[in-house]
Structure 1
Amino acid sequence: MPVLIMGGYFAFRGMAPFGSSSILTVDLGQQYVDFFAYFRHSVLSHPSSLLYSFSKGLGGEMFGTNAYYLFSPLNFLLLPFSGASLTTGIVLLLLLKYGLASLSFAWLLQREKVQVKGRLVAFSTAYALMGWMIANQLNLLWLDALFLLPIVIAGVLQISRKQGFKLFIYSMALTIMDNYYMAWMIALFAFLFFIWQISRYSNPLKQQLKILGQFVLAGISAAMLAAWALLPTIYALLQSKGTYTETQLKFHFEYAPWKMLAKLVPGAFDFSQMPSGQPNIYVGALCLLGALLYFCCYHDRWQAKVSAGLISIFMIISFCWPPFDLLWHLGQYPVWYPSRFSFVWCFWVIWLAATTLTPEFQLKIRTAIAALALTIIFTVALLIVQQHVSYIQPAQVFMATGFSLVAICLLTISRRQSPRLIDCLFCFLIVVDVTTNAYVSLNQISYVSQAEYGNYTTALNQAIKKVKHKNRGFYRVGKNFMRTKDDPFQSDFYSADHFGSTMEPNISHFMGALGNPAGDGYVTYTNGTKVTDALLNFRYYLAARNNGYSGDNLVLPLTSTRPDWQHTKTVAQTKLVNIKENKEQLPVAFAANRDIINFRSLTLDPLAYQSQIFQTLAGRGNQPTFFQVQNFDHVDFNNVNDAHQITGTTFRRKNRKQRASVVLHFKPVDNDAYYLTLGPSVKSVAKISINDHPLHQYPTYRNTIVVNVADHAKNKNITVRLQLKKQTMWLQNVSLYKLNETSFNKCKRILQRSPLHVTSWHENRLSGWINVKHNQQLLMTTIPYNSGWHVKIDGQAVTGQKVLNTFLAVPITPGKHQVSFTFWPPLLTLGLTVSALTLAALIVADKKKILK
């Protein structure tokens, strides 16, 4: 049923393969689709990248990353879909997850004999189309939780009845392996569900504590069985995402709790609810009513109802109170998609409803009247709440009221009169209710067109294919266009771009210090210089032709301005891309001066930082900086106040109704490259153009960036126009620099004397030989440091060092050496050992009938 409903909706919206739209939106379009492409490349071409990938920024471990993004075994279904057709595979995968969620919940209901026949369709469809699923269907990596949760709960029920541990241990272990993040939420809920379940039996306290101990032991066993995935992931998290864990608790509500009432209305969702808002908990009026009736109409022990009430209150408070919210989210506030654990609340409500609304259930008249009165009060409250939230309208409130009234009427009818008809009406009401919610909610979201994704991906793949055909060595590739920061994953090449929740903070800090856009979880190489191109092994550069247009269609959106590449020879081209080659770059490893080990920069100037690093590596750290500050020849102040200096000045528009700008003029005295620095505040206050051409720049950055404004432009007039976007414009860190290419080339030649000649490499292995010259005591690499890297020189293990708080380096002596680098995820060997021993112990215990 959910597959038919959602398949019909996708076809209605014209999503590929049904039309010209795609399923891609927000993170699915900006991140996950590229991870799926990376997964396909890894499995089919180079499996070692499942451990480590140089497509992740400058390079990074992938085991812990994949444990969050890609450990679902269902991802193998995407292997037949390549390039532009990947969106079709994602639609089919999503439909499969809808279907499995419904099937799993129906299996649990049938197994527990809670519901039978047609009613299974009703409750399982409500479960698969819950508000959380609809709002988070773009987060495919979380969705396995929906079909794993009922299996885990089946195991919980077995333990509570002293029927064995096997199902819980293996299902919980599988859940941890599939996605540790969602597994944590399921584990917390499983504990709460277990407490409720044992409260339904009148066992002595001592026996209940014994069963509780067995449950905890079973949970530990599940974690140990999944240790091969869990231990390396924990290590990776401590190096990346774990560094952002909250250490200070806030004890005020995140929002007014009464706003959650609005989420009990069909279609209570829009784009504003993605970054922040209330939990998506819609399950349909009949299920909500059934859950409430558990507390007054279902024959259960009072202790069970009290525990169920406390559990419900705990979860409701968790939606809006930071300490409990953080508990569910592993100590970190969600970045977008709030209350990610609300799927367990939906399960809870539907389960209570299914438990209560058995085929024999009939609502008494007195209770029905009370329900009608409550519905009227609820409607009035919703109409008041509706005025304070943006995502519901009065029509939706009355729609919710209508579903509630029909549900009450339906429950007052005895099923004995016409079982099939009542069951059909029961099923029809729930299916129509949750389908309406899905339709209204998803209509609030816009999607990437198939052409926007497909044409870009095809063009990038063609260009990368040309590059690899020309050179199969180890190098990085830059470009002046971008669809997402994970383009390197999409098209399987090395660069310095990445967006992911397990991004190592030191990489972001380093790239930001160099003058490139960077932040929590992302880096981009849109603002490189000749110095960073050489240092970071950028051998090729992809330049969009015709400003990225194919006819009248923009295919390659420009995000970078690099005149210094325009005069580099074009060595290949496609219909949309010119491929430039830089033969002067340094290799991924080279001999350098050991002074870099003790390097400490005190500057916040990205160009000074670049120069200091390069000169220190070359043993010329006491020389003047490569980049020399330049004065503008003159400045035009148009409709703004005059100033004696540019940087640090706040300009104010004189006539509010006329355009205002500051125009900077200079004329290069030689053909060296000129660079402009821009502070992060400038992007929001100024529209920038160079020689009347818009500055192409990735828009999101929080640090001072470096923009190349001239190269090979001797005696040519260069103008930089800063047009005010607002009434005032503060020009933060706006300064002009010239690269002294003579000095830069001297240092570059020193570092090129002893390159590592790479003879063989894979994603997690690299080997070659080097002939180290005198006065070079360090093998410097631009491989990000990770304790998983193991280095051997002439067959002898050497301890690596962390340089610049970013890169791996090892001491080396003059002479010719064989060098090898091998990456193995930290704690993976220990995890494999623990998992193997645990599995062996479980097999023995099973044979001895201990697990039952």
Structure 2
Amino acid sequence: MLATDAYYLFSPFNLLLFLAPQKFLSQMVLVIIAAKIATVGLTSYYYWKQKIDNEFYALAASAAYALSGYTIANHFNLMWLDSVLLLPLLIDAINRVLEQKKNHLILITFLLWFTNFYTAYMALAFGLFYLLSKLFFFNKKERWPLFWEYLKKSMWGSFLDASMLLPVAVEMLQGKAASSATWSLGFQFAPYNELAKLADGAYDFHEMQEGMPNIYIALPFVLLAIFYFLSKKINWRHKLANGILLIFLVASLFWTPLVLIWHLGQFPVWYPGRFSFVLIFFALDLAIIALKQREKISFWQIGVLILLAIGLIVFITVDSKSFAFLNQNAQTASAAFLALGILFIGFIHNRSNFAAPFFCLIIELELIVNLVLSLNNLAYQNNADYQNFVQNTKQVTQYAKDHDDRLYRMEKTFYRSDDDPFSANYYGLSTFNSISNQRVLNLLSNLGFVNNSNSYTNYGSTPITDDLFGVKYYILPNDDITPLKANEQMKYSNSSNRIDTSDYDIVKRFEQLVLMKNDDTLPFLFLTPKSTTKVKFDSTDITGNQNKFFEAATGKQTQLFSSVTWPDPKLINISGWDGGWMQYTKKDKAKEGRVIFNFKPQTDNSYYLELPGDIDNDSISLTVNGNSINTDVRDQNSRLINLGSRQCGQTIHVVFTLKNNQLNLNAANLWCLNTKQLEQIMDKFKQKQPQFKQTSALTIHSNSFSTKKTETMNSTIPNSFNWLILDNGHIIHKNKILFMNTFLNFKLNKGTHKITLIYVPWVFLIGIAISLLTLFLYLSIRK
């Protein structure tokens, strides 16, 4: 959890949140974003004002950096912006180290690690490369002392932040770092396509999700960065060193080994090229150096720039069909500002007293145009929808807390985001976290929950997982509400279609929501007669995996899922494949094709459709009894979709509408879950279970209970060596074999027990000790 805090929450700017009530959270986040972007401009202006006398040029560069493609693309990833604003101060500190002047490298290094370790790694890596490129120009006797001074101060700054870095390292090894990426020598995409990202407005939702790195800077600065290498006043050795570094950074955008190195061995999930702010900064720095030369432009130099500008425009125009963001407005704006850049470099720079104000003006104008074009390509949620969601769901969750002080989980049949449990203040299953526990991800994936490498949802759950994970309460839409004003109505988007949650007991009806209670849930820790053994999952058999979960928890050897034979389909503009089973092709590709299944359940059990991961919203639209079903997937997970419950003798109407010409349902299955048997077993099994309460943020206590023989206390609490377990005040050891390969568990002998779990962040405490020792040593040495 400390790694999560270090990743998302440790920016000093977050203190601004305390200046306003919680209902203004979204507005304060906007204030923080604006404050960070403004500070990016301030720190970069401070840096470039030291490199060039003219304040207009420094202002133009700082504005281009603050409103670069990286900032526009990642302004909602505000935890990354601290490294963007600290990078100019880092490079300034490194320059001062090289000049043997007083510097704040220790402080800047500490702040980088402290505010966000992920982008700090990128900024500090670039700082090292930048230093090495400069050391080349010092004589051999000076190089090592200068490098040692840099290394020493970087280490001081890093060890001062050991209280955060040490827990982060440990949690990363248990999370994403535990998973492996596929290394290859190939490219992520055709390198020349990255040129499209230099255009104005080069951003949209596709680029956010699976596009190319964002490297936009104002186009006149692109020309000036190129002009740096054409300059006759700049020494060729400096050009060579900076050229090698620039090529390395550009290659890092698309060459797989470098992409993985920059991203800590993992491919980015959404928001590609997360280090590109260092490339943008470096390109702008080269442009400022070129401006500083006050060089008289020769014909061949401006000719080269004109040819390159024309080439870029031709590429943008010809390739516009490949990228939705390259619309007519983007093409026109890019051509216009390239022309203005050529005009400035070739005919105004060094020839007019108004050259600098003119340049600053066109840069600011282009940044505004790019900002408008880029943001217009995105869609935003309505703040009123967010406020309605939080207000209504918190009312329900608070009611549950006021009337039930036990430890339980809660979920919903709809969601606004993966982090709804944070917004509505309840313990849920859904989460989005870049530091996700890899064991939990693997387990939920095997159980059929929709997930990817940094998030998982409650989609794919069943009464089995509800019972075993302790999902005691469900929040459902209230279909019996009186009409409300449009701006007061909740949006029930992204429904999970868990029809069988309606079988749970109604606790209370609220204005727009209903609170349901599942009486068969287990506590977070529960006694099991069987010893814990390692579970072998079959990723292609999610119903089998859920049954294994049930058997491991209860010790009951029973098959709760049974296969249901597919009824004969009704085909509309569809033909079945000869010799193929459950495989269909459109007859007329221009017309809609549908595959329809009608069947009548013979019991009141819950029925499920298992869909393989390759059948999703891109290939079909699915309706059940006229209701549209969300078929989105993330990492091509197989998942279960609830078709009906307590509908014995009633027709269930399932319609697949093809979006492509073919549909293969060979791996799709129909299942019947024996809910009556599940309820009987769980009702009996939970009777002997102890009860647990969370008495503080770090402690869980049980009531006093007895065991007549040696039993295993299993749990659905992810294992961590930070958990200290006491039985009647005495420390007991956890089992090495994890329950479901994921959760902590321990043995209890015959007798009376009272269990206490205490979360002791051992690594954090060790880190604090290292940080304090480092501070003490540093202050002692300074004396």
Q: By the TM > 0.5 criterion, same fold?
A: yes
CA 132–777 in structure 1, closer or farther in 2 if over 3 Å, else same: same
Q: What is the CA distance between 1:778 and its match in structure 2?
A: 0.7
Aligned equivalent of 1:54: none
Aligned equivalent of 1:383: 313
Unaligned runs of 5+ in 2: none
Aligned with 2:122 (options 173, 185, 199):
185
Correspondence 1:95 to 2:34? yes
Aligned equivalent of 1:205: 140
Correspondence 1:837 to 2:773? yes
Contact 1:593 1:616 in 2 (8 A): no
Aligned equivalent of 1:453: 386
Contact 2:67 2:367 in 1 (8 A): yes
Q: How many Å separate the matches in 1 of 2:661 and 2:220?
A: 55
Q: Deviations over 1:457-481 (max 9, x none)?
A: 3332233233223323321112111
Q: Deviations over 1:422-467 (max 9, x none)?
A: 4433432332233333233222222222233333333322332332
Q: Deviations over 1:14-56 (max 9, x none)?
A: xxxxxxxxxxxxxxxxxxxxxxxxxxxxxxxxxxxxxxxxxxx
Q: Deviations over 1:267-311 (max 9, x none)?
A: 333333323444433333443444444445475554333322222
Contact 2:622 2:631 in 1 (8 A): no
Contact 1:279 1:342 in 2 (8 A): yes
Aligned equivalent of 1:555: 491
Matched residue SS, 1:561: coil
Matches within 5 A, 1:633-712: 634-639=567-572, 640=574, 649-653=582-586, 657=591, 659-669=593-603, 671-684=604-617, 685-695=619-629, 700=634, 702-712=636-646
Contact 1:527 1:561 in 2 (8 A): no
Aligned equivalent of 2:77: 139
Give the RMSD, CA atoms, in angstroms.
3.0
Q: How many Å separate the matches in 2 of 1:344 and 1:286?
A: 19
Aligned equivalent of 2:11: 72
Aligned equivalent of 1:467: 400
Aligned equivalent of 1:789: 723
Matches within 5 A, 1:267-666: 267-295=201-229, 297=231, 301-358=235-292, 362-364=294-296, 367-386=297-316, 387-389=318-320, 390=323, 391-392=325-326, 393=328, 394-409=331-346, 411-414=348-351, 418=353, 421-546=354-479, 555-601=491-537, 604-621=540-557, 624-631=558-565, 634-639=567-572, 640=574, 649-653=582-586, 657=591, 659-666=593-600
Q: How many Å separate the matches in 1 of 2:657 and 2:287?
A: 61
CA 474–410 in structure 1, closer or farther in 2 if over 3 Å, else same: farther
What is the one-letter code of the residue matched to 1:560? S
Q: What is the CA distance between 1:608 and its match in structure 2?
A: 3.1
Q: Deviations over 1:496-520 (max 9, x none)?
A: 1112222223222222322322232
Correspondence 1:156 to 2:94? yes
Q: How many Å separate the matches in 1 of 2:158 and 2:81?
A: 21
What is the one-letter code of the residue matched to 1:482? Y
Aligned equivalent of 2:682: 748
Q: Deviations over 1:149-194 (max 9, x none)?
A: 1221122112112235x61122111101111111111112112222
- Please give the TM-score of this superposition, normalised by the length of structure 1: 0.83
Q: What is the CA distance between 1:242 and its match in structure 2?
A: 1.0
Matched residue SS, 2:570: strand
Q: How many Å separate the matches in 1 of 2:471 and 2:343?
A: 66
Q: What is the CA distance between 1:93 and its match in structure 2?
A: 0.9
Contact 2:188 2:254 in 1 (8 A): yes
Q: Which moved further from structure 2: 574-583 or 751-760?
A: 751-760
Matched residue SS, 2:688: coil
Aligned with 1:127 (options 57, 65, 68):
65
Q: How many Å separate the matches in 2 of 1:494 and 1:815?
A: 32
Matched residue SS, 1:783: coil
Matched residue SS, 2:703: strand
Matched residue SS, 2:243: helix
Q: How many Å separate the matches in 2 of 1:809 and 1:734?
A: 35
Q: How many Å separate the matches in 1 of 2:727 and 2:609?
A: 42
Q: How many Å separate the matches in 1 of 2:57 and 2:183?
A: 47
Q: Which moved further from structure 2: 818-827 or 63-72?
A: 818-827
Aligned with 1:739 (options 665, 673, 681):
673
Q: Which moved further from structure 2: 113-122 or 534-543?
A: 113-122
What is the one-letter code of the residue matched to 2:147? L
Q: Deviations over 1:119-144 (max 9, x none)?
A: 44233222212232223222211111
Q: How many Å separate the matches in 2 of 1:532 and 1:831?
A: 37
CA 718–286 in structure 1, closer or farther in 2 if over 3 Å, else same: closer
Matches within 5 A, 1:221-232: 221-232=156-167
Contact 2:710 2:747 in 1 (8 A): no
Q: What is the CA distance between 1:369 and its match in structure 2?
A: 2.5
Matches within 5 A, 1:18-33: none
Q: How many Å separate the matches in 1 of 2:382 and 2:460?
A: 28
Q: How many Å separate the matches in 1 of 2:40 and 2:433?
A: 27
The answer to which structure, 1 or 2, has the higher relative contact order (CA under 8 A, 6+ apart) is 1
Q: Deviations over 1:721-749 (max 9, x none)?
A: 44444443322444344333454345324
Percentage identity across paired residues of the two chains? 24
CA 710–475 in structure 1, closer or farther in 2 if over 3 Å, else same: same
CA 192–690 in structure 1, closer or farther in 2 if over 3 Å, else same: closer
Q: How many Å separate the matches in 1 of 2:219 and 2:635?
A: 45
Q: What is the CA distance between 1:230 and its match in structure 2?
A: 0.9
Q: How many Å separate the matches in 1 of 2:341 and 2:200?
A: 11
Aligned with 1:107 (options 27, 46, 53):
46
Contact 2:613 2:633 in 1 (8 A): no
CA 758–258 in structure 1, closer or farther in 2 if over 3 Å, else same: closer
Q: Deviations over 1:604-641 (max 9, x none)?
A: 433333233323433333xx312333446x53433456
What is the one-letter code of the residue matched to 1:230? L
Correspondence 1:214 to 2:149? yes
Contact 1:595 1:619 in 2 (8 A): no
CA 760–455 in structure 1, closer or farther in 2 if over 3 Å, else same: closer
Q: How many Å separate the matches in 2 of 1:513 and 1:547?
A: 37
Q: How many Å separate the matches in 2 of 1:163 and 1:491?
A: 51
Contact 2:470 2:521 in 1 (8 A): yes
Matched residue SS, 1:79: helix
Q: Deviations over 1:668-695 (max 9, x none)?
A: 34x3333343333443554433334444
Q: How many Å separate the matches in 2 of 1:460 and 1:697?
A: 25
Q: Which moved further from structure 2: 574-583 or 549-558?
A: 549-558
CA 373–87 in structure 1, closer or farther in 2 if over 3 Å, else same: same
CA 567–261 in structure 1, closer or farther in 2 if over 3 Å, else same: closer
Contact 1:588 1:783 in 2 (8 A): yes
What is the one-letter code of the residue matched to 2:319? H
Q: Which moved further from structure 2: 75-84 or 560-569?
A: 75-84
Q: Which moved further from structure 2: 800-809 or 681-690?
A: 681-690
Q: Which moved further from structure 2: 219-228 or 634-643?
A: 634-643
Contact 1:122 1:430 in 2 (8 A): yes
Contact 2:723 2:760 in 1 (8 A): yes
Matched residue SS, 1:784: coil
Matched residue SS, 2:101: coil
What is the one-letter code of the residue matched to 1:388? D
What is the one-letter code of the residue matched to 1:573? R
Aligned equivalent of 2:663: 729
What is the one-letter code of the residue matched to 1:343? F
Aligned with 1:803 (options 739, 746, 753):
739
Aligned equivalent of 1:170: 107
What is the one-letter code of the residue matched to 1:90? V
CA 628–773 in structure 1, closer or farther in 2 if over 3 Å, else same: farther
